Chains A and B, each alone.
Chain A
């Protein structure tokens, strides 16, 4: 398969970026999207080394930078905005799991980084997502130190609640929800963590404090407001549900007016 790629190139956070056009040929349909970019980068390096790094064919000698790591859809490191969709035109996958068989031969593909104020560009398609870490650091955990905890089976947890907690905990922190949102809201990310812990007895002790701290931190870091368009849910590679946003709102209201944090079915 052959493709024409329009890729966002930006040297660093301070410089202005622009689209550059590249062509790749003879790509196998079984190739993953990132492997296709690997092939392009090999071409860029080889072409430039032949011409002493002075080639007009590739105006930017440097290969295209993009974040990636596990390449099996779980680490959350990769994330490209492909033809206007975070992680591209397949549902429930990360960019590394998107395969070229999902495209048509000869397609033009536009590749951009996540675009959101709290995620500044580092280089080309790589953005800084440390804002997500900061939100978690503000309270996205159960405050236990190592040791001195009760036996694991001492508190039975209804399977239904454990399953719902797991549904929320599957979030990989890739940032697609923020990139998909017109307001760059992080409500789905925060909602997933708040829900996961509020659904479990271990997390209920700190539920009020947690939701307050995490929401305040989210606002402070410049994430936008939620206007319930659910673009986040539609683009989430782990298909985290919008019910988690509802649960976040419920927890928020509980902590203002007082109410019980016990999960509601």
Chain B
């Protein structure tokens, strides 16, 4: 199969306009006859459903939580990028585009990224119109701050809760459509299967989903003319991550099993500033926003004996004299300093800790110090900018970051990989679309800070309402699709079988036991740095653990009841397969790029070394059946506009 990315003709800056000018539309009377399923109510899902509902389509939207407002977009802290150039500091669509491509280490599709930069300004306008209370300066205009990988201030923010405010904006728009009756909301509902039905040309199209009602445990059927997956990333494969407990990769994986290609699974973002791990009972890691790197300085002691003394509790951070501190990011990357991209900052922290300079009881932590900022700006300004983050840190660690530096360490945060989509955000299954973190399209091998919110909302507000219409324009004669067909029967039966199989194992180990083990394997062997040996080892370990899972997991309770253990078991079963694909992808990509660091491919200074000659492509994997090696398809990346260069944040 040749992957057709359907990039429109014309110069890069005119592609999106050309697409919109020439695409097919659906007239208002026909929109009422078309049904759309949206799975997920985060920024991408909620904004897509609200926009499509407002256009007049019938939308069914599903979320696993008790309310659409709980989706994990809510936890995004720092901000959202947009090329508004309100600061007069030289920003433009072109520059945001270039920063994003460069930040992604030249592994993203030019046309998609340019479109993202192009609509970024509209997102801010939309959110302000919804009443999102962005930070403002004393003249009443919008304020900006700076984020990693950029030399301009283009990040809009609402204190340390930007994701919350943007999501509540989208949730408001969604609630309005629910009130108008164009969108139907299904809460506590988890997608368990994708239903494919052949169209008149004999091509299998996405026509519905099977959903587990999480309150009753019963399976339900829903049909539509198109299905949108907006269920976020798969970072929880690693068990400990900054994701929410219930964030999972199953909806995307289910689509993959049904034939949608999965792209670049090995591109996992490890965020440099998280609160370090402290015990084996720990259930998640908490992010400390990247915005803290605007004013915080990252360091470890210069002398290894100081680090040892701190670890042993004999010395404190404040006992280390200024000249004995190694501000290693400022030392290694003078041009960007503490604001290098996330993958670079994470690896630098790991390098220092592995060399024995780490602090904290485990030695797996570095300092993030605000004493200079407090001296320079005064404690009140620091409080105003970061107050809630400081409070959160104090609640978790019982330490006061105004007096003693924070301790941070990298943690799994975001997955750049996801369902392969073309320019229209359509997967390799006709009628199945993927938006937000669930697709792979815009961030290459590393995402820049404050770009996830931008992408989620761009996909939902400004891309899908156009591209879905183009697809749906030839569906108007089909009419409502019944769920009383053999395809739906079969899909439902396969879910029930899976549930029964898990329920009947009645082993002696809990789901979490296996999830923690899997996470451990992934973090140690497929984490911040990988090599052939560690990946090969991981592949075997994953297989063995999966086998043991299917023999000795214990799922208590019954299938048809409120049963969180059953939910977790179903998701974990998919994580094993996902883990295997991540490992295979990481093994095949012998170069280092962005968040994917192969120790075999590095420069003398320990930076990533790309191999553009052999790996300048998107790796899109095709499912071949359980535990069978998947087939690789390549989408070559043709950079027509941008000049390819080695990523350089030093000067």
Contacts and interface: CB of A to CB of B under 8 A. Distances in A.
Interface string B208-222: 000000010000000
Interface stretch (A196-204, A218-226, A254-262): A196-204
B126 interface: yes
B51 A146 contact: yes
A153 B141 contact: yes
Contact of A42 (B139, B215, B461, B510): B510
Contacts of B554: 45-46, 48-49
Nearest to A93: B395
B173 interface: yes
B312 interface: no
A153 B245 CA distance: 38
A224 B139 CA distance: 42
B129 A202 contact: yes
Interface string B102-134: 000000000000000000011011111111011
Interface in A131-173: 132-133, 136-147, 149-153, 155-159, 162-163, 165-166, 169-170, 172-173
B398 A149 contact: no
Contacts of B124: 152
A170 B244 CA distance: 19
Contact of A146 (B158, B179, B185, B462): B462
Contact of B283 (A34, A48, A90): A34
Contact of A72 (B75, B171, B246): B75
Given A70-B244, A162-B135, A144 B129 contact: yes
Residue of A92, A93, A142, A156 with highest tally of chain B CB at under 10 A: A142
B438 interface: no
Contacts of B72: 69-70, 75
B172 A136 contact: yes
A169 B75 contact: no
A162 B126 contact: no
Contact of A169 (B168, B173, B175, B187): B168
A116 interface: no
Nearest to B185: A133
Given A45-B510, A142-B172, A99 B281 contact: no
A129 interface: yes
A200 B133 contact: yes
Contact of B75 (A70, A150, A163): A70
B161 A170 contact: yes
B284 A71 contact: yes
A170 B135 CA distance: 13
Given A93-B395, A141-B175, A141-B176, A152 B67 contact: no
Interface stretch (A59-67, A105-113, A179-187, A240-248): A59-67
A28 interface: yes
Interface string B592-608: 00000000000000000
B165 interface: yes
Given A12-B562, A75-B244, A133-B68, A144 B130 contact: yes
A197 B392 contact: no
Interface string B152-166: 000000110100110
A70 B130 CA distance: 25
B279 interface: yes
A146 B54 contact: yes
Nearest to A53: B556
B75 A76 contact: no
B140 interface: yes
Contacts of B557: 61-62
Contacts of A165: 131, 133
A146 B50 contact: yes
Nearest to B510: A45
Contacts of B392: 72-73, 97
B84 interface: yes
A215 interface: no
A34 B284 CA distance: 11
A196 to B, nearest CB: 7
A2 to B, nearest CB: 15
B396 interface: yes
Contacts of A63: 556, 564-565
Contacts of A20: none
A31 interface: yes
Nearest to A75: B70
Residue of B66, B176, B391, B465 with highest tally of chain A CB at under 10 A: B66
Contacts of B639: none
Nearest to B138: A159
A92 B171 CA distance: 24
B31 interface: no
A101 interface: yes
A146 B126 contact: yes
A128 interface: yes
Contacts of B68: 133
Interface string B518-549: 00000000000000000000000000000000
B65 interface: yes
B86 interface: yes
Contacts of B396: 97, 99
Interface string A50-87: 10010000000111010111111111110000000000
Nearest to B135: A162
B507 interface: yes
Interface in B140-194: 140-142, 158-159, 161, 164-165, 168, 171-173, 175-176, 178-179, 185, 187
A34 B359 CA distance: 28
A68 B185 CA distance: 20
B74 A70 contact: yes
A169 B166 CA distance: 11
Interface in B317-374: none
A146 B286 contact: no
B258 interface: no
A24 to B, nearest CB: 11
A231 interface: no
Given A63-B556, A139-B179, A159-B140, 16 more contacts: A62-B556, A62-B557, A62-B563, A69-B70, A70-B245, A75-B65, A97-B395, A99-B396, A133-B175, A140-B172, A144-B173, A146-B462, A152-B142, A157-B136, A196-B133, A202-B129
30 contacts: A12-B562, A30-B398, A32-B283, A35-B281, A38-B512, A49-B509, A62-B563, A63-B564, A73-B392, A75-B72, A75-B74, A76-B69, A97-B395, A123-B561, A130-B67, A133-B68, A133-B185, A137-B176, A140-B175, A141-B176, A144-B130, A147-B462, A150-B125, A150-B129, A162-B133, A166-B135, A169-B165, A170-B164, A173-B69, A200-B133
Interface of A: 12, 28, 30-32, 34-35, 38-39, 42, 44-46, 48-50, 53, 61-63, 65, 67-77, 90, 92-93, 97, 99, 101, 122-123, 126, 128-130, 132-133, 136-147, 149-153, 155-159, 162-163, 165-166, 169-170, 172-173, 196-197, 200, 202-203
3 nearest interchain CB pairs? Answer: A156-B140, A141-B172, A149-B129
